[in-house]
Chains A and B, each alone.
Chain A
Amino acid sequence: MKIVRDLMHPGLLTCRPDATLGQVSVMLTQHHVHALVVADRDGRPIGIISDYDLLAGEWLSADSQSLTTMRHLTAGELMSSPIDTVEASLSLGAATQQLIEKDINRLLVTDQGAPVGVISISDFVASIAGEEKLLRSTVADVMSDAILVCREKTPLLSAARTMTQAGWRSVLVVDAKGTPVGVVSGKDLLPCVQDGVDEKLTVRDIMHSVLTIDMHAQLREAADLMIQKHYHRLVVVDKDDQHAFPLGIISSFDIVAEMARPGSTWQK
């Protein structure tokens, strides 16, 4: 039986508590990761900050005063704390249970209490597919005009494998005409880690509904929608042609990548 240690990413990517949101966004983008462990001067983990947390930067910057405040906000102030942990020797099922129950995306892995790595939903998706998880050395996850799609009848295992191979966190489900009908994310696949994958299952059985946003919407509107609805990605559509094949997908990571862009408001 596989244990947490078998799937985790060993080592910790950390940032200091006084790092600004702009600095954190650069680190996330450079390392192609979705979260950093916030560590104190002695390297002790005190919290986790994710790309989703950074959405707050856009979400709450409704005016110049708020933007100034958010630009000065630090990782230590925005991080989730305390960190949810799991022992490296525990079963994957126990870790999955914790992710589902707490509705979180990652756990700090400890070995007899000492932090040794991180395990995230993407690691579990890779385990379902029976694939080695690829390092995100491409910009695929940041691209918004390329979309990973499948049909409703696509076997679940196939979707998991494709997501892992492409290094994507979700796959868009479309009908015969290309109209979006659902999304499958790592979170949807988590129960399969616990219960095992029924080969008859298709993406239709586990997909969740699509949340769309107009191509002309402000980035802040996208952040607002993601946070209010607790979605990590939105399907970008042309509101004048709702049933057409979508124009792209915008994820929390895309917004962070924009925050990290040299010359953006967050880097001044």
Chain B
Amino acid sequence: MTSSSIGMGDQDRLEREKFENELKRILNASDAAGIIMRVIGSLAFQKHCQKYGYLQAAMGRAYTDIDFAAYHRQSKEIQAMMAGLGYHENREVFIVSEGNRAIFERPEAGLHIDIFYEKLDFCHAIYWKGRLEVDHPSIPLAEMLLEKMQIVQINEKDIIDTIMLLLEHPLGDEDHETINIKKIAELCSQDWGLWRTTTMNLGKVRQLAQGYEQLSSEEKGIIDSQVAAALNRIEQEPNPLAWRLRARVGDRVKWYKDVDDVQ
């Protein structure tokens, strides 16, 4: 785990509410305009974890921005909607990323909105196609877990979000308040690199969860068994020849992309 402090630190209630209220405002506007926008990142975990959401504040997990997943075909509508909400677009990001990412800002309010079109493409690519319709107002829980597990240099904030998710939701073979581990296993079975990073990070979550004094021993036990079940399900998925061939080469060749973060 890296020691990056971004997304960590004390944050008062007022500041947290600023982000939560702005999220509601944007979601109301996108729903009214018929735009499919799904929240990802820390606020998605907060929205989807009614029982364990308090852990973010308790563990010093702060909001820094609001992230969304969306389809590229609606990028023009999103641009217009965000302008209507008082945001200024950093057009250079959209151009440089070849339309895969957009950043909107309201500097006077300290608000930064990141939109990822079609996929989240950092260490590994997580595609949205056909998945943004599955849940609301966030991406499905499976993609939320993968969003964190695909980060090779995983941070404490990502560990905290994952702990909340695993405490709050069961694993299963479907979506809707269930972490669709079948979907995760299928994706990992097609891509050895994603399998390598995901299983590595699940192991880190399992280990690091045991060190949080904010968690009871029962909660630590839940994390442990959830991770064990997830790993077990992932290992059961049959792997195609390409996966097996890549596995033979293993860590000798880098299996992930370096994150070229646009700030």
Contacts and interface: CB of A to CB of B under 8 A. Distances in A.
B14 interface: no
A181 interface: no
Contact of A230 (B241, B248, B254): B241
Interface in A62-111: 65-66, 69-70, 73, 77-80, 103
A56 B252 contact: no
B249 interface: yes
B228 interface: no
B260 to A, nearest CB: 15
A112 interface: no
B44 to A, nearest CB: 31
B253 A66 contact: yes
A65 B246 CA distance: 17
A248 to B, nearest CB: 24
Contacts of B253: 60, 66, 69-70
A69 B250 CA distance: 11
A69 B252 CA distance: 7
A56 B253 CA distance: 11
A258 interface: no
A53 B249 CA distance: 10
Interface of B: 240-242, 244-246, 248-249, 252-254
Nearest to B255: A60
Given A60-B253, A66-B254, A79-B248, 16 more contacts: A52-B245, A53-B245, A56-B248, A56-B249, A60-B249, A65-B254, A69-B252, A69-B253, A73-B252, A77-B249, A77-B252, A78-B245, A80-B244, A227-B241, A227-B245, A228-B242
Q: Which 4 A-B pairs have the closest CB atoms?
A: A227-B242, A66-B253, A60-B253, A69-B252
Contacts of A56: 245-246, 248-249
A78 B242 contact: no
B85 to A, nearest CB: 41
Chain B binding site: helix, strand, loop or mixed by DSSP?
Answer: helix
Nearest to A53: B245
Contact of A73 (B240, B241, B242, B249): B249
Contacts of A69: 252-253
Which of A55, A60, A66, A230 neighbours the largest number of chain B CB atoms within 10 Å of its CB?
A60
Contacts of B240: 230
A263 to B, nearest CB: 24
Contact of A77 (B241, B242, B246, B248): B248
B125 to A, nearest CB: 14
Nearest to A57: B249
A78 B241 contact: no
Interface in A25-79: 52-53, 55-56, 60, 65-66, 69-70, 73, 77-79
Nearest to B240: A230
A52 B241 CA distance: 10
A235 B240 CA distance: 22
Contact of B248 (A55, A65, A78): A78
Nearest to B245: A56
Nearest to B252: A69
A259 B245 CA distance: 18
Interface in A192-238: 227-228, 230
Contacts of B245: 52-53, 55-56, 78, 227
